[in-house]
Structure 1
Amino acid sequence: MKQFVFALALGATSLASAAASAAEQLSLNEISAYLNSFATAKADFTQVNDDGSLSTGTLYLRRPGKVRFEYADNAGLVLAEAGTVAIMDPKSNQPPETYPLSRTPLSIILARNVNLAQANMVVGHGFDGVSTVVRAQDPKAPEHGSIEMMFTDNPVQLRKWVIHGGSGEETTVILGEMQTGLSFPSSLFSISRPKRDR
């Protein structure tokens, strides 16, 4: 069950092939506008856990506040809805582990309105020659850790994030090509009905 916690961090695809000389650093307003431009998204992902192990699966997102990490080979589910995260391990007879969504830095990009320019949210903003990297935290609860996001431009796209948990753990999620503007049934994110059929 430990690996599933890392997806939201309690507490591989290539990047754009454009030459570095053609890329430019994105502003916080541009990144916020991009994140606010879609309400739904789907992408395959590869997750690098804190212990170095790898997990793969499919991510479904519906803002505000809903996300589903569906791990390959029926390895498990992580769901978020109505301010609650549930970690479901099919190998366990125990009920799902739950905790508030506000305890994970991923809540920042699941907000109804993403505003990275608000005071004390962004603690790092840089450019590596190809990608813009932004590190953000909940200014009201920095003890819950931070999320480091990597974006490419032309067009703007979220490619990767690293969750830095409040206890020092790190988890990386590398995204495949993201599809946006899709329609998902509410049941896809239902903690009480976590079926895999879509």
Structure 2
Amino acid sequence: MKAFLPLAVLVATSVPAAAQSGDLAAVQRHLQSVNTMTAAFSQTDRNGQVLTGTLTLKKPGKIRFQYQKGVPILIVGDGKALTFIDHSVRQVQRWPIGNSPLGVLLDPNKDISRFAKVVPSGDPRVVSVEGYDAKHPEYGRINLVFARDASAPAGLMLQGWVQLDAQGNRTTIRLSNQKFNQPVSDGTFRWNDPRRQGRAG
């Protein structure tokens, strides 16, 4: 898979306006045509720690990061809020999906042209789009990376993303074995509250 380029490099130069509008429109079509997605993911945090797991997405607003066995963390979006569950310390944190850069993936009605731009990838086979809401810098930035693939929705295959929070902490997600628009049960996005049960869900 094409390696992610450093975010600073991606943002440093500009893309011609024609390519901007064409590729951005293709990304919008891709996001609108994907109702569900499952994929294996590899997550690398700012310290270089790598975790793996399974990603499940269902629009509108539902997402689940099921981490590898032995990792007591779960992240679930239920359509309204993203919930971070840490079973090791029985801690639960919630925040509105709209306050997260992941909102761009989860809201099919979002007009990404208002807050996203194409950034150079250094490879014509790759489309890289940065999402940033200048009115809400506290939401952070997300850099979505797509490979051109005629067999994928709207001709683009989501390869992953680089997320930068307001504090400058970077998290890189790489995807593999992507599958689109297959049935996904709403039960996938339920979770057990460790504050009440004290056991993993």
TM-score by length of 1: 0.78
Once the 2 structures are TM-superposed, how far is the Cα of residue 123 of structure 1 from its aligned partner? 4.6
Once the 2 structures are TM-superposed, how far is the Cα of residue 183 of structure 1 from its aligned partner? 1.1
For 1:196 and 1:60, the matched residues in 2 are separated by: 18
For 2:45 and 2:110, the matched residues in 1 are separated by: 26
Once the 2 structures are TM-superposed, how far is the Cα of residue 74 of structure 1 from its aligned partner? 4.0
Q: Given that residues 31 and 108 in structure 2 are in contact (C-alpha distance below 8 angstroms), is that contact kept between their aligned partners in structure 1?
A: no
State, as a whole percentage, how many aligned pairs show the same letter. Answer: 25
Alignment partner, residue 162 of structure 1:
162
Change (3 A) 1:111 1:38: same
Larger relative contact order (Cα-Cα within 8 Å, sequence gap ≥ 6) = 1
How far does the alpha carbon of each residue in 1:166-192 deviate from its partner, in whole angstroms, 9 at most, with x for none?
Answer: 111100000002101111111111245
- 1:34 is the counterpart of 2:43: no
Change (3 A) 1:123 1:167: farther
Once the 2 structures are TM-superposed, how far is the Cα of residue 60 of structure 1 from its aligned partner? 0.2
For 1:117 and 1:131, the matched residues in 2 are separated by: 19
Alignment partner, residue 105 of structure 2:
109
More helix by share: 2
How far does the alpha carbon of each residue in 1:65-113 deviate from its partner, in whole angstroms, 9 at most, with x for none?
Answer: 1100000014121001132111122322x24222222221111111132
Count of residues paired in the alignment: 173
Alignment partner, residue 84 of structure 1:
81
Unaligned runs of 5+ in 2: 4-18, 151-155
Unaligned runs of 5+ in 1: 1-13, 17-24
TM-score by length of 2: 0.77
SS in 2 for 1:64: coil
Q: Given that residues 24 and 117 in structure 2 are in contact (C-alpha distance below 8 angstroms), is that contact kept between their aligned partners in structure 1?
A: no
Q: Given that residues 61 and 78 in structure 2 are in contact (C-alpha distance below 8 angstroms), is that contact kept between their aligned partners in structure 1?
A: yes
* Cα RMSD after superposing both structures: 2.4
Alignment of 1:26-105 (within 5 A): 27-75=23-71, 76-92=73-89, 94-105=90-101
Once the 2 structures are TM-superposed, how far is the Cα of residue 15 of structure 1 from its aligned partner? 3.7
Once the 2 structures are TM-superposed, how far is the Cα of residue 125 of structure 1 from its aligned partner? 2.5
- 1:151 is the counterpart of 2:155: no
Alignment partner, residue 122 of structure 2:
128
Deviates more, 1:151-160 or 1:166-175: 151-160
For 1:138 and 1:74, the matched residues in 2 are separated by: 36
